[in-house]
Amino acid sequence: MTMVATSEEAVQEGAAVRRRSSKTLWLLAPGMIWMVAFLVLPMLMMVYVSFWTQTTFKIEPALTLQSWITFLTSATYLGALWTTIRIWLLVLLSTLIVGYPAALFVGLLIKNKTLQTVLLVLCVIPFWTSFLIRVLAWRPMLGTEGAINMILMNLGVIRQPIEVLLFSELSVIIGMTQIYCVFMVGPIAFMMGRIDASVIEAAQDLGAGFWRIFRTIILPLSMPGVVVGAIFVSVMVLGEFATSAALSGRKVNLLGNIIVTQVGSLKWAFAAVAGVVLTIIMGAVVAALLKVVDLRKEL
């Protein structure tokens, strides 16, 4: 009788597991269909089109490596690739330098939760306007007759306007840092808020100074937020083209600008090649960042 009862329980448990699995699949189905239709299939199509035969006036579905060879041997395309990587690294570093102290202040030093929320909302207020307005707003700030040059000249810091502030790589980095810094502040502030204050108090009671507490407690515990923020900033900066076009006067050519130009010229194969290269870089960056911290364990 005991063996029969055990067998019936096993059968019932197996049926319950199958029902739960069936429900899980149904719940996942809409998301999976959406991802396949609007992410996987377009990416596969982009890879396929990158091997089509591109001529000056038309494109044919005859497979060839010519577009890839042209891209990988062109100084213009390789220069845009290097510029994209260089600006991504500089913007990532600048957003971390600007964003980490702000997140430390909001997430750890401010104890009042309401005030924390207010400060975080203030960080996202610029996003209540359009992206284009936020980018173009830097022109009257950075120009030779802009606000920054006028203030510095009135203070006697400089005698001649600093021309490199606008229509240069520096202006692109400044603009991207301001636009994307909030994506670094948010995740880090969230992780700062999860740090147990009693751990820091115990370290202080044992005589540890601020820098030792920061190095051994705050920084390691905030690393998941840094990684998440770095992923957000990296994906958006690597795919950028509008900020570069508006603030550099088209002097800074990113891979995103290459894609826009090639699509505008109806050179779909070259645009697809640049898109595939950009996607590979993004995937490699995200994979490398996820190797730094195991987010499934930390979050």
- pLDDT score, position 181: 93
DSSP state of 12: H
Is residue 32 in a domain?
no
Type of residue numbered 255: L
Question: How many other C-beta atoms can be found within 10 angstroms of the C-beta atom of residue 246?
Answer: 17
Q: For 59, phi and psi rounded to 5 degrees?
A: -130, 135
Is residue 195 in a domain?
yes
Is residue 189 in a domain?
yes
Work out how many domains the chain is built from and give that number.
1
Q: Domain with 177 in it: what CATH number?
A: 1.10.3720.10
Q: Is 207 left (phi over 0), alpha (psi -120 to 50) or beta?
A: left
> What range defines the domain where residue 266 resides?
81-290
- pLDDT score, position 5: 56
CA distances in angstroms from 35 to 30, 39, 116, listed in the order given:
9, 5, 35
pTM of the model: 0.86
Is residue 295 in a domain?
no
Q: Are the C-beta atoms of 181 and 98 separated by less than 8 Å?
A: yes
Give the long-range contacts of residues 18-21, CB within 8 A, separation 24 or more.
none
Is residue 107 in a domain?
yes
Is residue 76 in a domain?
no
Is residue 297 in a domain?
no
Is residue 245 in a domain?
yes
- pLDDT score, position 4: 57
Structure confidence by residue, pLDDT tens digits, 120-170: 888 888 888 888 888 888 988 998 888 999 999 999 888 888 888 888 999
Residue 2 pLDDT exceeds 70: no
